[in-house]
Amino acid sequence: MIIRPEKQGDEAAIEEVTFAAFSGRPSSDLTEPIIVRRLREAEALTLSLVAEMDGQIVGHVAFSAVTIDGENKGWLGLGPVSVKPGLQRKGIGSQLIREGLAQIKAMGAKGCVLEGGPKYYQRFGFQSYPGLTYHGAPAPEFFMALPFYEVVPQGSVEYHPAFYNAPTQK
């Protein structure tokens, strides 16, 4: 398996993997492929990585800028991250996330936030910070941050507009 940046021509395969990965999940309204497409169209994908096996895209992770209290403070949001069903729970998502975090840190990001399951994301160093919030999280523990430096900003996080009001997949 190789992890590489998204390139032109990968769009349909990324959409297929993302749709398949989130299909049937109670926590998903199947807008994840649309979010990735909208981020790409808005040129708001700070980093988009794919996992490739035997020439086929089997996983994807996206990182995009977030604002904190309406300001860009150099933090990025992780997500969506997806792995083709049948290959999940084999470390592909973890490799995508670790590589992505290393790359955004090297790019100068101050930290990363996400909405997701604490059991899964704590292994990467993510944790909840009471002063850093996201209104869309089902509960405070599902919104986590990973500071790359010591300072964790306080305030309300907003993702790129591509995350909001995305219509349901056809």
- Measure the CA–CA gap between 101 and 25, rounded to whole angstroms: 25
* pLDDT single digits (tens) 114-124: 999 999 999 99
- Strand ranges across the sheet with 143-147: 2-5, 47-53, 56-65, 75-83, 111-115, 143-147
pLDDT (tens digit per residue) in 57-96 = 999 999 999 999 999 999 999 989 999 999 899 999 999 9
DSSP characters over 65-93: E-EETTB--SEEEEEEEEE-TTSTTSSHH
Using one digit for the tens of pLDDT, what is the confidence trace for 137-148? 889 999 999 999
Q: Give the tens place of pLDDT for each residue, 22-36.
A: 887 766 677 899 999
pLDDT per position as a tens digit, 1-22: 999 999 999 999 999 999 999 8
Provide φ and ψ at 169, rounded to 5°.
-60, 145
Contact (CB, 8 A) for 76 and 65: yes
